[in-house]
């Protein structure tokens, strides 16, 4: 039987980070105990980010540029999340469209438990399908002044699977299913209801995880002493070290990424796995544990290909390290509260538009809109978006039938002109818009997001990101499109815009 396993990985953490001291300060009048958790910064989503956009960015990082062999070889896409925006509209299909995947790709959503990311990866590894991709993404929301608001974050991680250049293979897996309720969130509600932490730790984690771990070790015919790295994600402080001690584990426990990210639900075990693989050496055994209505464990072993992958990845993929380094830190708590709907500012009449999407146009133009695919004239080489009936070059005017696809999602660009608009309604003022000059010659008026307090200037390097273009506040359907963002953002500057 040919070797099969993980062939590549990708990650994404939202650029916006909030200092936890700002959260504690906002609530100290009624919850002074939060000060004890006020260390570092947590990631939070901008108003135009959700589990879908997070998943797209992680998958882009994993699969490489549009038109690459990796994207062309995808046969199935699974997206795991507990915060998918749609209950009856396949979220993974939107992700596949943004990635420009073939219409023959099978897509599926996995939800209902923060164990979902580990479960999806375990199932894909068991299936041994060539070209499968697993993405886990979560945008967790917590009640203001709760401990969850302090420790939660947002992130996504993606893995491609196959038999070519395998960097980690499956040795064993185990499940211990239990109807144990540590927390839950009913349909139509925004916040989780949590049970008492000691109960979760002592009766849940401590009793349910070991049987799953032992089952994975038994299948691999190994002992806990053979494991080099333990990946165990939890929103409770100190759980990883305590469980490691209980299991008799003496190796390396992965950093929980509390500072710069925070606990990201279904995505977090896979995010920590991605971080572990980024620095792994050949022959290392990595144990990954997911918790939620029981526990699930997968035991992986890195191959010699991991060394080549990690040596050659510099500057080519963002990964976990790059995502952490790209943060824009703010001390404005009300910004996060507004973006997450916990605060409803008075925007005035400018903010009253509903944003209804034209679904017919969206379907007819889905190829170029979802994947940001421009047309390149074969006659003169002019690149244009959107595609018109004829080439826009006045000296050419060739018919659009002879255009070839030209994706703009990975093409370098820079600011040609811009304005910071404080008069138009925008959920994160000011609204930055300007012409992006692409290296191919395409020149487009684009929204520019995640601009730090240092602003932008003519010549600032830009990259594309998949975001919510406009939410439909009446019907609840988001219109997604591509925006530009500065290619590099300061990591420690305060007061992000």
Residue 394, in any domain of the structure: no
CA distance 337 to 238: 27
| Predicted pLDDT at 188 | 85
Pair (315, 244) in one structural domain: yes
For residue 314, is pLDDT > 90?
no
Which residues sit opposite 77 in a β-bridge? 107, 133
Q: What is the mean pLDDT of residues 276-296?
A: 96
| Predicted pLDDT at 489 | 42
For residue 384, is pLDDT > 50?
yes
Determine which of 261-275, 324-338, 399-413, 468-482 has the lowest per-residue pLDDT on average.
468-482
Q: Give the CATH number for residue 447.
A: 2.40.50
pLDDT digits (tens, 9 = 90+) for 14-37: 999 999 999 999 999 999 999 999
Residue 495, in any domain of the structure: no
Largest separation between any pair of C-alpha atoms in the chain: 75
Provide DSSP, 371-429: TTEEEEETTT--EESS--SB-S-TTT--BGGGEEEEE-TTS-EEEEEEEEESSS--SSS
Q: Give the CATH number for residue 312.
A: 3.40.47.10
Residue 241, in any domain of the structure: yes
Asked if residues 5 and 168 have their Cβ atoms less than 8 Å apart, the reply is yes
For residue 288, is pLDDT > 60?
yes
Q: What is the mean pLDDT of residues 43-62?
A: 97
Domain count, the chain: 2
For residue 12, is pLDDT > 70?
yes
| Predicted pLDDT at 488 | 63
pTM higher than the cut 0.85? yes
Provide the strand spans (E) within 165-249: 168-177, 183-184, 193-194, 229-232
Pair (134, 278) in one structural domain: yes
Determine which of 143-152, 368-377, 483-492 has the lowest per-residue pLDDT on average.
483-492
Residue 302 domain boundaries = 5-338
pLDDT digits (tens, 9 = 90+) for 169-200: 999 999 999 999 998 999 888 899 998 889 99
Pair (160, 261) in one structural domain: yes
Residue 384, in any domain of the structure: no
Q: How confident is the model at residue 1 (pLDDT cuts 50, 70, 90)?
A: low
For residue 493, is pLDDT > 90?
no
Residue 125, in any domain of the structure: yes
Pair (160, 272) in one structural domain: yes
Q: How confident is the model at residue 52 (pLDDT cuts 50, 70, 90)?
A: very high
CA distance 392 to 149: 51
Asked if residues 61 and 317 have their Cβ atoms less than 8 Å apart, the reply is yes
Q: How confident is the model at residue 441 (pLDDT cuts 50, 70, 90)?
A: very high
Pair (131, 167) in one structural domain: yes
Pair (247, 114) in one structural domain: yes
Token readout for 109 is 């959503």
Q: How confident is the model at residue 315 (pLDDT cuts 50, 70, 90)?
A: low
Residue 393, in any domain of the structure: no
Pair (174, 313) in one structural domain: yes
Q: How confident is the model at residue 77 (pLDDT cuts 50, 70, 90)?
A: very high
Q: What is the mean pLDDT of residues 137-151?
A: 96
Pair (109, 157) in one structural domain: yes
CA distance 135 to 79: 5
Pair (320, 443) in one structural domain: no
């Amino acid at each position: 039987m040919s070797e099969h396993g993980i062939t590549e990985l990708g990650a994404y953490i939202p650029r916006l980070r909030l200092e936890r001291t700002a959260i504690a300060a906002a609530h100290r009048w009624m919850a002074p105990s939060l000060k004890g958790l006020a260390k570092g910064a947590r990631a939070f989503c901008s108003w135009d980010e959700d589990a879908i956009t997070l998943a797209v960015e992680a998958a882009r990082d994993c699969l490489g540029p549009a038109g690459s062999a990796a994207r062309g070889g995808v046969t199935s896409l699974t997206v795991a999340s507990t915060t998918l925006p749609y209950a009856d509209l396949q979220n993974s299909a939107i992700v596949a469209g943004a990635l420009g995947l073939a219409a023959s790709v099978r897509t599926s959503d996995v939800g209902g438990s923060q164990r979902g990311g580990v479960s999806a990866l375990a199932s894909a590894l068991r299936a041994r399908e060539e070209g499968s991709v697993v993405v886990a993404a979560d945008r967790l929301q917590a009640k203001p002044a709760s401990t969850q608001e302090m420790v939660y974050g947002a992130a996504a991680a993606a893995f491609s699977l196959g038999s070519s250049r395998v960097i980690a293979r499956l040795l064993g897996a185990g499940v211990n299913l239990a109807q144990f309720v540590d927390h839950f969130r009913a349909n139509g509600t925004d916040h989780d209801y949590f049970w008492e932490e000691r109960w979760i730790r002592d009766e849940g984690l401590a009793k349910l995880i070991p049987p799953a771990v032992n089952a994975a070790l038994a299948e691999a015919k190994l002992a806990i002493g053979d494991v080099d790295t333990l990946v165990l994600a939890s929103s409770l402080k100190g759980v990883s070290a305590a469980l490691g001690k209980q299991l008799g584990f003496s190796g390396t426990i992965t950093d929980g990424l509390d500072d710069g990210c925070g606990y990201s639900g279904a995505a977090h075990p896979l995010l920590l796995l991605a971080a572990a693989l980024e620095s792994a050496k050949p022959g290392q055994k990595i144990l990954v544990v997911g918790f939620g209505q029981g526990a699930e464990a997968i035991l992986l072993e890195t191959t010699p290909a991991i060394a080549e992958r990690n040596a050659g990845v510099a500057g080519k993929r963002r990964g976990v390290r790059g995502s952490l380094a790209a943060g824009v830190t703010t001390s404005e708590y009300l910004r996060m509260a507004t973006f997450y709907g916990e605060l409803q500012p008075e925007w005035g009449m400018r903010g009253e538009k509903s944003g209804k999407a034209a679904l017919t146009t969206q379907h007819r133009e889905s190829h170029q809109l979802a994947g940001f695919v421009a047309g390149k004239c074969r006659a003169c080489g002019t690149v244009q978006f959107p595609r018109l009936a004829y080439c826009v070059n006045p000296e050419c005017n060739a018919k659009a039938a002879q255009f070839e696809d030209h994706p703009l999602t990975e093409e370098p660009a820079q600011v040609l002109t811009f304005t910071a608009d404080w008069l138009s309604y925008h959920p994160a003022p000011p609204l930055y818009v300007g012409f992006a000059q692409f290296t191919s010659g395409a020149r487009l008026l684009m929204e520019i997001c995640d601009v730090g307090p240092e602003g932008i200037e003519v010549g600032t390097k830009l990259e594309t990101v998949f975001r919510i273009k406009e939410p439909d506040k009446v019907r609840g359907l988001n219109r997604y499109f591509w925006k530009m963002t500065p290619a590099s953002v300061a990591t420690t500057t305060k007061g992000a815009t």
